[in-house]
Amino acid sequence: MRVARLAWLLFLTTLKRRLAYRGDLLLQGLDELCRGFVAFAMLKVYTSKAPALAGWTEPQLLFVLGFAMVPIGLFHCLCGNLYQLSNTYIIQGNLDRVLLRPYPTFLQICFDRIAIEDLSGVVLGIALMAYAAARIPGFDASLPHLALLLVLLASAFAVIVAVFMAFAATGFWFEDRVGMVPPVYNLMEFGRWPPSIYHAKLRWLLTVLIPFSFTAFYPASLFADPAAGLLGPGLLTPVVAVLALTVSTALWRTGIKRYGSAGS
The pTM assigned to this predicted structure is 0.88
Report pLDDT for 37. 79
Closest CA to 162 of 64, 81, 242: 242
Tell me the pLDDT tens digit for each residue of 98-131: 888 888 889 888 888 888 888 888 999 999 999 9
As a whole-number percent, the residues of the chain with pLDDT over 70 amount to 94
Average pLDDT, the chain: 85
Closest CA to 193 of 172, 164, 168, 216: 216
d(CA 77, CA 73): 6
d(CA 7, CA 88): 21
CB proximity list for 26: less than 8 A, separation 6 or greater:
117
pLDDT of residue 167 exceeding 60: yes
Contact criterion met (CB below 8 Å) for 232 and 261: no
pLDDT grade for 259, boundaries at 50, 70 and 90: confident
Least confident of 133-137, 184-188, 199-203: 184-188
What is the average per-residue pLDDT within 224-252?
A: 89
Closest CA to 244 of 131, 161, 144, 152: 161
Using alpha carbons only, give the angle 250, 189, 203 rounded to the nearest 5 degrees. 70
pLDDT of residue 69 exceeding 80: yes
d(CA 263, CA 14): 29
pLDDT grade for 156, boundaries at 50, 70 and 90: very high
Q: Domain segments of the chain: what residues?
A: 16-258
